[in-house]
A and B are shown apart, each in its own frame.
Chain A
Amino acid sequence: MQTKPNDKGKKTTMMNNDNVPFYKSPQFWKSTGIFWALVALVIVMAFSQPAFLTRPNLINILKQASITGVLAVGMTMVLLTGGIDLGVGSVLGVACMAAAYATTEEQGWPILIAFLIGIGVGAVFGFINGVGIAYVGFAPFIMTMATLSAARGIALVSTNNRPIFNLSEQFIDVSNSIYFGLPSLIYYFMGVTILAYILTKKTVFGKWIYAVGGNENAARYSGINVKRVKVIIYTIMGSLSGLTGVLMASRITSGNPVVGDGYELDAIAACVIGGVSLSGGSGSVIGTVIGVLILGVISNGFDILGISSNYQRIMKGLVILFAVFIDIRSRMRKND
């Protein structure tokens, strides 16, 4: 491709001089920027904190990242449609209780049933969100805040605020084992990521997700059933929240009704760091994964330094602001 003006003299932004190989061009650095940020972050941590590169610490990071990651992958798809789900933490709480109830030593149902129950509970909440947003017309912010309240209430009421203990050994193994040197949780994260990647990038439905988020009106005028897309997306998000609830029940070896509080913040922060636009239509699952890892490393850093989790919340808020700022800036520059 030569750098000559086209017939209409219109300025074009894709001026890639063919003499420079892709990996040296500015576009490469821009689109893989966050990956290098992660690499730089890891290097800095490794050198400044000897405790960082130890096996137990890295396993810890990966475990927490997997939990946030499953939620963040779902949140990515919701954000891509231009929506948001603020209730994921509470939904996972209900699912946690449901799964724990199913796998106590007394109840003794098979683990698969626990998974199905947890995911199912999440799916129901997700479906309700989707119908409220797509068919009734509630703003996603409002609708999912409502489910946040309702779900947390249900979780607390279910056992009168008391946790459920005595879960079966088998179930506890789900989140607390090591396979091939990696914590079991990471495999759930990877599996969900691969499926989400294929869905969003390789299927027609995935293209519709981007179309709805990018320009909902144009999508509708092109024959895409926008309402159906939204209901499906929120149901998927709910299911993934449910899955996370099951995994948490196993991880903390109990069904705790207050678990998950604030997890939506982590999920959204990870997405935003990973380059998902809050206005919809752009971003990717891969970026979110890197965002999850960056968030995980930063949180871990705070922990190693002994900084309390309250400061971590402030930090996450600032990180979100910063990442959105970068997104808006690059958007404005593109419009020039």
Chain B
Amino acid sequence: MKQILSMRNIVKSFSGVEVLHSVDLQLFEGEVLALVGENGAGKSTLMKILMGIEQPNSGEIQINGDIIKIDNPARALDLGIAMIHQELSPIPEMTVEENMFIGREINRFGFVNTRKQIQKTREWLAKLNIDISPMLKMEELSISKMQMIEITKAISYDSRILIMDEPTSAITEKEVMQLFELINLLKKNGVSMIYISHKLHELPYIADRVQVMRDGHIISVSNMADMNEKKIMRDMVGREISTIYPKCKNKIGEPILEVTQLSKEGEFEDVSFTLHAGEKLGIAGLMGAGRTELMSAIFGANKADSGRVMVKGRKLPLRRTSDAIKHNIALVPEDRKLMGLNLVMNVAENTTMCIDQTIAKSGFLNTRRGENLSRMMVDKLSIRIHSLKQAVENLSGGNQQKVVLAKWLLTEPEILLFDEPTRGIDVGAKAEIFELINQQVLQGKAALIVSSEMQELVGVADRVLVMCEGKITGELKGKDITQENIMTLASPQKETAGQAV
């Protein structure tokens, strides 16, 4: 097979700190190379160098045997390298065809030839077997479809090297399969791909080889056939992980949270369930099932239309988040950057955000007590930081999530609501988060865990409620908690026939 890309001895430092130590990467024509590693391993930095966003301190890059310098992203595009980002940013109000041609419109004397653009767009989409009308506005498309357009756009620039960053983090299982079909088609057409993902179980479907990075080094490069999840994880973390989902002998106690017929138009309908002390209750469902909205409503951040929530027999007013907090409920939100942390503030400031008022001295900030409590939580949760005064935006995803958890544990909650607690977190930190959840339930606290990763719930939950299109479609206990059962209950009825899992 022809070697299309070679990166050799790449060294990169930021402010005197070396983050990539003589890294090599080879890519062959028509292959998918999976690039895996924990957050902070150096994958993004390496890709930024390939994209021309960063410059290496030393090292050599060759494309098709020619030594080249990638000075800026435009040069990368010229060389045939394109990246499909994790967070897509098309222009929502413009159509597919307009987005495809942005910056290079087919025009005569400044007048855009829309008909020709639409025709060309149709051609490209047809070549990739993608069934989307060029006339639709981007904002009307689902994330999965937007992603396909993004890929089509990259191919239309004659890109031969595609970098895909966590492409399946925000799309449904069915859409993942569609994406994989597209990837296989691209492979047949000789396009090479570097596939970055935390979802190791997906790799066997598409990857030819897998390269593992840790702490700025390449740990291993192997054929996918010779690797399995366990080996990959061991290379990523540097030690054996017996299991990401630690077992725990929690005792299920009295009901502590009772939700009765909670409804909000357009989001969820007639939701009723009971959560017990010491229990880990999972809430499964596809994206858009209404789980996050339900959590926010229980927490008082999203006003429900009707229904009732009782905490230990007392009615919970659902108007403000402070009501929920007073009733010892905590919510670790889905998007920590948007809803969980103030990125500009430091670790200590974020950690004490919920209890500042409680420890205050006549309204004045109790900085000393705050820092002591923060330090205690940092130790307890093994949060890796330089100093309490470090800005949280510089922490890895896993450590950021731990800061959010620390903030909530300081409020001494009895009911913990977790919305996608391990999203965007590497393997080692995932295990730690689940261990922390276990510790809480062993102490008699109750945990509600919303997760889109079915194996998480299979591995962790005592009971699982499945939601679909705003309603609870079923409850699974013990041995019945399987990926198949969850999937069946989570899928809208008209699509269950012939569903691939």
What's the minimum C-beta distance from B18 to chain A, rounded to whole angstroms? 7
* Smallest beta-carbon distance A282→chain B, Å: 6
Partner of B345, one of A15, A211, A221, A225: A211
* A interface, over-half SS: loop
Q: A10-B394, A207-B365, A210-B345 are in contact. Are A221 and B339 (CB under 8 A)?
A: yes
Contacts of B391 in A (CB 8 A): 13
Is B79 in the interface zone, CB < 8 Å from A? no
Known interface pairs A204-B364, A214-B342, A220-B301; A11-B17 also in contact (CB < 8 Å)? yes
Q: Is the CB of B342 within 8 A of A215?
A: yes
> Which residues in window 1-31 of A have CB below 8 A to B?
1, 3-15
Cα separation A206 to B365 with both chains bound (whole Å)? 9
Q: Which residues of A contact B390 (CB under 8 A)?
A: 12, 14
Q: CA of A211 to CA of B342 in the docked complex: distance in angstroms?
A: 7
User: Given A8-B38, A204-B360, is A13 in contact with B15 using a C-beta cutoff of 8 Å?
Assistant: yes
> Which residues on A sit within 8 Å (CB–CB) of B134?
none
| B394 adjacent to A214 (CB under 8 Å) | no
- Docked CA distance A206–B357 (Å): 11
- Give the contacts of A58-85 with B (CB-CB under 8 A): none
Once the chains are docked, how many angstroms separate the CA of A15 from the CA of B354? 30
Contact among B18, B321, B345 with A220 in the assembled complex (CB-CB below 8 Å): B321
B90 neighbours in A (Cβ, 8 Å)? none
CB atoms of A15 and B340 under 8 A apart: no
Q: Are A222's CB and B354's CB within 8 A? A: yes
Does B344 lie within 8 Å of A282, measured CB to CB?
yes
Chain A residue numbers with a CB within 8 Å of B387 are: 1, 14
Considering the chains assembled together, what is the distance between the CA atoms of A223 and B14 in angstroms? 37
State whether B345 touches A10 (Cβ < 8 A): no
| Given A5-B17, A218-B342, A281-B344; A202-B364 close (CB under 8 Å) | yes
Residue of A nearest to B335 (CB): A217
B216 at interface by CB-CB < 8 Å: yes
Is there contact, CB below 8 Å, between A202 and B365? yes
Asked if A219 lies at the interface with its beta carbon under 8 angstroms from chain B, I say yes
State the CA gap A210–B15 with chains docked (Å): 29
Among B17, B42, B342, B357, contact of A219 (Cβ-Cβ < 8 Å) = B342
Quick one: CB contact mask for B383-423 with A, threshold 8 Å, 1 for yes? 01011001100111000000000010000000000000000
A14 to B384, CA, bound (A): 15
Q: Within the assembled complex, what's the spacing in Å between the Cα atoms of A281 and B391?
A: 14
Q: Chain B nearest CB: distance from A81 CB in Å?
A: 13
Q: Which residues from 170 to 212 on chain A have a C-beta closer than 8 Å to any C-beta of chain B?
A: 202-208, 210-211
Nearest B-chain residue to A215, judged by Cβ: B342
**Among the listed B215, B343, B360, B407, which residue makes an inter-chain contact with A7, where contact means beta carbons less than 8 Å apart?**
B215
- Judging by beta carbons under 8 Å apart, are B322 and A223 in contact? yes
Report yes or no: A8 in contact with B40, Cβ–Cβ below 8 A: yes
Q: Supply 7 further A-B pairs (C-beta < 8 A) apart from A5-B17, A220-B321.
A: A5-B18, A7-B384, A203-B360, A210-B345, A215-B342, A218-B342, A223-B322
Residues of A within 8 A of B (CB): 1, 3-15, 202-208, 210-211, 214-215, 217-225, 281-282
- Closest 5 pairs (CB-CB, A-B): A8-B40, A11-B14, A10-B40, A223-B325, A214-B342
List B residues at the A interface (Cβ < 8 Å).
Answer: 14-19, 38-42, 215-216, 299, 301, 320-322, 324-325, 331, 333, 338-345, 349, 353-354, 356-357, 360, 363-365, 384, 386-387, 390-391, 394-396, 407
CB-defined A-B contacts under 8 Å, sample of 16: A1-B386, A7-B384, A8-B39, A8-B41, A8-B384, A8-B396, A9-B40, A9-B41, A11-B394, A12-B15, A12-B394, A14-B390, A203-B360, A204-B360, A215-B342, A220-B321
